[in-house]
Structure 1
Amino acid sequence: MAARRVLDKWVMLQHGHLWDPSNATPTGGGETMTGVLHHAVIPFLRHLLPRSNVHIDPERLVALRPEERVIPVLERWLKPGIFERFIDALLEILVENGALARPLAWVTTPSLLRWRLKDDDDLWERAGASAMAVLEGAKSLPGKPPPPDVLVLGHTHVMDWAVQDGRPGVQRLYVNLGTWSARATDAAGPMDAAMPLLRIDADSRQLRAELFDCARRWRPLQRFEVDR
């Protein structure tokens, strides 16, 4: 976390993983899932025999956000039967690495995994709701820093911008930069190559925040101005 005083405003910057239960602690499962993808799933796909009329791109999984979407993507890529065996092997690896209790692995099915994925897909909305509650003063940031006037997060892989209107003449800003890398969300669609950049500056009278997409010739996306 970083805190910066700009004029009479507090600007808070956090990565955002503390707001995500699967990544808030070393035992939350997120770190294990990343390791399993890179050291088990991707090597498995590289050694898999080609499937007719289906292009399998193992490197696409690196850009997949959220990572848990590997399940529906591989359901598109793998032959019936192989997919079910893959799920069994994946669950066993997660159990062996402490990311999943064995009794849960016994009852986990692809349908249950897809239901869990919906909750992961909603992470950006839940992060936004929590951030707005912080700006409203109804919730505290982890670590209890000063109440922010501008709150900047990442981690959710989805850009977000929201203005909180307080008492008359007072506005506060929430920005989520998503992720600074190309992103995929499905098995075959185009990659999202947006590269967000947030610029915050001020003069003696006003604080300004501007959001740009560097990948598209610095195309402006949003602008926020507030007087001191």
Structure 2
Amino acid sequence: MGRLVSTIFVTLDGVHQAPGGPQEDTSGGFDQGGWSFPLADDDSGRYITEIFARASGFLLGRRTYDIFAAYWPKVTDPAHPIAGRLNALPKYVVSATLQAPAWAGTTVVSGDLAKEVTALKERTDGELQIHGSGALVRSLLDLRLVDTLHLLTFPVVLGAGRRLFTPGTLPTRFTHRRGHVTGSGISLQTYDLAGSPEYGTYDLPEES
């Protein structure tokens, strides 16, 4: 059985919308797209390349799929560390409306999310990766189907845009696996899903 692995860029205030460019996603009037670009460095680039190298397939939300499908098929070098993987490996897009995807190797997932994704994990040998797709990631975390979360936190606050974790998100505990901070200040952290939070109290010392 494969592992479901999410990789997502967020700001310090949790925004994941349009990290890659001004026109990437302007929904909701968002006008701060491209916030990750000035901070990208060689270290974060290597980190992303290493993640893509482990992929056996990709699961994407419709918005992220459309962004990827408009760009990556045009990068035709099979040796490209990202395009080569995205263009060659199976892609699954969660959508209730997409009927005839033009990107080769794409399958539409439109049924019961928990059932469909569980089946995809069962027939994947290795990592089934989610990139971006914040709303989908939240849903799959709530369903306890995500195994690992790669969270890249950029040292910028936007004050607007869609956030990864919103009110109503199912309380979830993670185990930190590894991480470091790049020269430009990007925090690269890897967490494994560990179930529900545990709770306790800091007891004050009794007065004598």
Query: TM-score range, shorter-chain basis?
Result: under 0.3
Quick check: which has more Rg, 1 or 2?
1
TM-score, length of structure 1 as denominator length: 0.26
Give the structure with the larger helix fraction: 1
